[in-house]
Amino acid sequence: MGSILLQAMLKNGLLSAALTSATVQHEERAKMLAAKLGIQVGTDNAAAAKGADIILVAVKPQVVQEVMREIRGQITPAQLIVSVAASVPTSMIESWLPENVPVIRAMPNTPCFIGSGMTGVCKGKYADAGHVALTCSMFDVVGRTVVVDEKHMDAVTGLSASGPAYIYIILESLAEAGVKVGLPRDVATLLAAQMTMGAARVVLETGDHPALLKDAVTTPAGCTIDGIMELEEGKLRVTLIKAVVKATQRAKELAFS
Ligand SMILES: NC(=O)c1ccc[n+]([C@@H]2O[C@H](COP(=O)([O-])OP(=O)(O)OC[C@H]3O[C@@H](n4cnc5c(N)ncnc54)[C@H](OP(=O)(O)O)[C@@H]3O)[C@@H](O)[C@H]2O)c1
């Protein structure tokens, strides 16, 4: 996720390559990423954090505390910490840093890679509206952003951060269905993907309720209603609801397991 975000932000000119540095755990990964992104990449977190305006934390939830311990000696309230780690509350990050350091949590998703991401943002105790606006401007270049209360961040994780995986399964299944009814696989995949994007764009651009849009596709005694009956019988709705609920519950635990 960190490299997806950096790559997109560098490409969009939000970050200057000369003023951006990154860290990873392994030396060989650092070399590979430095060549790929054209920025300085190392393994010394404290050195990278020293004097940085914004520190984007994109390690696994269980590693955040260790990284905060490494960098805390370099951190002042003039800097901004933006964490994309699932599950780790701002209060916990604040407790691992010196007093009054502004912390923002952001929950992006992988479509940020092509500028179609969705990011939920919330602020910690010491962050102000300016920090929120700065963070939103960072994530706006890789898609859309929404500011939420921190109590909703696990739900954002279970819905829009995990969501691309659910949609890829649905897309793969629709393409498989196309193959079953005789379409070449590449055509079936194109039909499924472009249709999914089109349907999503209609929801976003019209603001209409999805149920109304579904009704408009469903001609009385036509074919769509037969397809819908199969979906209802297969419990697609409840399955998707349960998937988001489970992922949200798991997001609450991640930092502690
Ligand atoms: N994947 C998603 O769709 C998504 C969406 C939203 C948020 N997130 C959040 O993003 C975070 C990273 O997830 P991911 O999927 O990108 O995991 P990942 O692919 O495993 O990447 C983790 C990165 O952290 C680096 N790292 C590990 N320990 C480190 C240390 N002590 N100091 C510096 N760097 C260290 C690793 O370095 P090496 O490359 O050298 O191993 C690796 O580059 C998680 O907290 C996750 O909750 C992910």
pLDDT tens sequence across 65-103: 999 999 999 999 999 999 999 999 999 999 999 999 999
Query: Angle at CA 114, nearest 5°, toward 137 and 176?
Result: 140
pTM: 0.94
> What is the band of 227 on the pLDDT scale with cuts at 50, 70, 90?
very high
Atom of ligand 1 nearest to the CA of 88: 45
Which residues surround ligand 1 with Cβ inside 6 Å?
1-2, 23-26, 29, 45, 58-61, 63, 66-67, 84-86, 107-110, 161
Average pLDDT over residues 51-59: 97
User: For the chain, give me the number of helices (H) and strands (E)?
Assistant: 12, 7
d(CA 64, CA 69): 9
Q: Enumerate the domain spans of the chain.
A: 2-153, 163-256
The whole-number pLDDT of residue 254 equals 82
The whole-number pLDDT of residue 115 equals 92
Average pLDDT over residues 152-167: 98
Buried b (16+ CB within 10 A) or exposed e, 53-83: eebbbbbebeebbebbebbeebbeeebbbbb
Any idea how long the chain is?
257
With a pLDDT cut of 70, the percent of the chain lying above it is 100
The whole-number pLDDT of residue 256 equals 72
> What is the band of 131 on the pLDDT scale with cuts at 50, 70, 90?
very high
Lowest mean pLDDT: which of 75-79, 145-149, 253-257?
253-257
Residue in 60, 74, 96, 112 to alter for ligand 1 test, most ligand atoms within 8 A of Cβ:
60
User: Which CATH homologous superfamily contains domain 2-153?
Assistant: NAD(P)-binding Rossmann-like Domain (3.40.50.720)
> What is the band of 150 on the pLDDT scale with cuts at 50, 70, 90?
very high
For residue 202, how far is its CA from the centre of ligand 1 (angstroms)? 33
Task: Give 168-225 pLDDT, tens digit per residue.
Answer: 999 999 999 999 999 999 999 999 999 999 999 999 999 999 999 999 999 999 999 9
Can you read off the two tokens belonging to residue 110? 């992988």
Nearest CA to ligand 1 atom 48: 1
Atom of ligand 1 nearest to the CA of 25: 40
Give CA torsion, residues 167, 168, 173, 177, to 10 deg: 90
Among candidate residues 86, 89, 70, the one with its CA nearest the CA of residue 23: 70
Positive/negative CA dihedral, 97, 100, 102, 105: positive
* Position 255 pLDDT exceeds 90: no
The whole-number pLDDT of residue 181 equals 98
Task: Give 31-53 pLDDT, tens digit per residue.
Answer: 999 999 999 999 999 999 999 99
For residue 58, how far is its CA from the centre of ligand 1 (angstroms)? 5
* Position 119 pLDDT exceeds 90: yes
Q: What is the mean pLDDT of the chain?
A: 97
* Position 233 pLDDT exceeds 90: yes
Atom of ligand 1 nearest to the CA of 28: 40
CB 255 within 8 A of CB 92: yes
> What is the band of 156 on the pLDDT scale with cuts at 50, 70, 90?
very high
Residue in 5, 21, 25 to alter for ligand 1 test, most ligand atoms within 8 A of Cβ:
25
CATH of domain 163-256: 1.10.3730.10
Reduced to 3 states (helix: H, G, I; strand: E, B; else coil), residue 145 is strand
